Amino acid sequence: MFFDSALFGWFFLLVFAVYWALKRTEAPRLWWLLVCSYFFYGVWNWKMLGLIAFSTTMDWLVARRIEANSEKRVRRGWLLLSLVTNLGILAYFKYANFFLASLQSLAEATGSTVVLPVLQIVLPAGISFFTFQSLSYTIDVYRGSLATEPSFLRFATFISFFPQLVAGPIVRASDLLPQLRLPAKWDARTHGLGLALIAMGLFKKVAIANPLALNLVDRVFDAPELYSSVETLAAVYGYAIQIYCDFSGYTDVAIGAALLLGFTLTPNFNRPYQSANLQEFWHRWHISLSSWLRDYLYIPLGGNRGGGWATYRNLFITMLLGGLWHGASWNFVIWGALHGAALGVTRLFQRSSLGAAVAKRTWTRPLAVFLTFHFVCFAWIFFRAPAFEDATEILENIAAGTTFIPNLTPLLLSTIGGALAWHLSPIRWRERCVDLFCRIPAPAQALLLVAVAIALWRIKGTDSVPFIYFQF
């Protein structure tokens, strides 16, 4: 059930109406959210509902055992059970065939005739997101930074909350569980903000991300030999815009839908292509994942406590595993390694005398933003290309220097240019637009949203482009 489908619109209207009708009683309200969340996920593949139910039940029980025991060895054993089980499930569904294929390639390279099987595995939608969300709960309880949730109903609703279930943001228990305990409270301005976010998110997806994917990016990455260097480079820029508008558009709809139900989710994007270095980029891009990797991987590895080279090692390992989190492909590993190495170089430069001198010059920021954006685009090539050979073909095609552009229509160029211009514009412009929308009367908001919905429906057409991060 895609956010940009009519089915989701009718589904959410039903959820919204019944939820606020039940606002005075907590249990029926939470049961309604839980049933709707399981229905939402079951539409993708009802057979995978047992996976969420198992993970939810196990981690709720494990956390209670951790809190009930004072002996460190016993607490660590229960935490290890949660880690091994959750990561084991994730490894099986997401990485089993990847590891088998890698072993097969290694065997062939050494002259072995062993033939390893290919498992028929269906990847559950959003498994990386709800696994990390559930794991963060047991880890926080183990650390003593979070008390266990006594209500299984409340905890199950937290894990399966449908707006962010399949593509984030990755919500911490400390953020959402307290909100689930509070009585539902109607707030007109909050609901206006929610509607504005949903409209903006759908616009990003339907009017920008989908046309770029269908008319440029997919075509060039599928057959780069048919396109010139300029067209290939435009497709790389197009993908940078597509993945941002696709993923941040999903996040906008998720946060907006949650606001309409009275819940505030953590922000996940903050104009990432305005970043002047990669460290800043990861503070602005997929914020819930980067903060998760920082708190549950980078810091436990030692963070920056072990001196210079240990810090660079920890950065590199974190980003390498962050790349692997995105998918079972060596291209994702390369993408993570590029970011890990570049973060190390960034840190080294910032601590040098040259870096200190450059930081004092305000005029250098536009150049730094330009260079950072182009490094991110370079890394996106490996993220998007089906295989390493395809990524190298894209790079070779760009380097060839051919300039014919019959496939770059004025509409495509204006979409890329307009999206970049809006992205780089001051944030106060967007805030002012949202504020104006929230101030107008509710009937006017409804009419404006209907007009936006009709326009997007006409733009969308019949071609469907799944959200990129559903595969992760």
DSSP H or E segment with residue 137: helix 127-143
Rounded (10°) angle between helices 330-350 and 308-326 = 150
Alpha helices in 401-441 (DSSP H): 410-424, 427-439
Q: What are the angstrom distances between the C-alpha of 317 and each of 98, 103, 184?
A: 19, 22, 42
CB–CB of 131/84 below 8 Å?
Answer: no
> Tokens representing 54?
């198992």
3-state secondary structure 7-54: HHHHHHHHHHHHHHHCCCCHHHHHHHHHHHHHHHHHHHHHHHHHHHHH
Q: 19 Cβ partners below 8 Å, 6+ apart?
A: 29, 32, 33, 184, 261
3-state helix, strand, coil in the chain (%, to 5): 75, 0, 25
DSSP 224: G
CA–CA separation, 244 and 208 (whole Å): 10
Long-range contacts, stretch 14-17, CB < 8 angstroms, 24+ apart: 15/162, 15/261, 16/260, 16/261
Catalytic positions are 326
Separation of first and last alpha carbons in the chain: 16
